Amino acid sequence: MKTEARLFYGIGIFILLVFAIYTFFTMRDARGIEPVGVAGLLLTAGLCFMCGFFFSLSGKKSDPRPDDDPDGEISDVEGDFGFFAPHSWWPLILAFGCALVMFGAAVGWWIVIISMPVLVIGAIGWTFEFFRGEDSV
């Protein structure tokens, strides 16, 4: 978790640097500071620092992982890390449904209504992909 905490802290510092540069250059404009960009950059930096703080606290509470060891080898991270279905078509259907819904939000709400069944079917299909036969719900 130390690696993730450092990553988010680094991104947060970078965004604060961008915030300072952005604020400096918008102050020089005749219209003054642009509030939306300033607020967006500050909120993004705050979110990065919150994530970094969460990961640093989680790293202190949990056992050290192999990725936190600077001298660690790839072979230290062996074993199963979960189950992956390599031949599943459901993520593609779900992504298509999400794309249609976002397209509908941009173009017309009637497309959202038409595309919601694709989204729901994709989500249900992917969730219950391996519950067939005796294991079915």
pLDDT digits (tens, 9 = 90+) for 21-36: 999 999 888 888 888 9
pLDDT digits (tens, 9 = 90+) for 86-97: 788 999 999 999
Task: Enumerate residue ranges in the chain where pLDDT < 50.
Answer: none
pLDDT at residue 56 in the model? 93
| DSSP secondary structure of the chain | -HHHHHHHHHHHHHHHHHHHHHHHHHHTSTT---HHHHHHHHHHHHHHHHHHHHHHHHHHHSPPPGGG-TT--GGGS-S------TT--HHHHHHHHHHHHHHHHHH-HHHHHHHHHHHHHHHHHHHTTT--GGG--
What global pTM score does this model have? Answer: 0.58
pLDDT at residue 135 in the model? 62
pLDDT at residue 59 in the model? 85
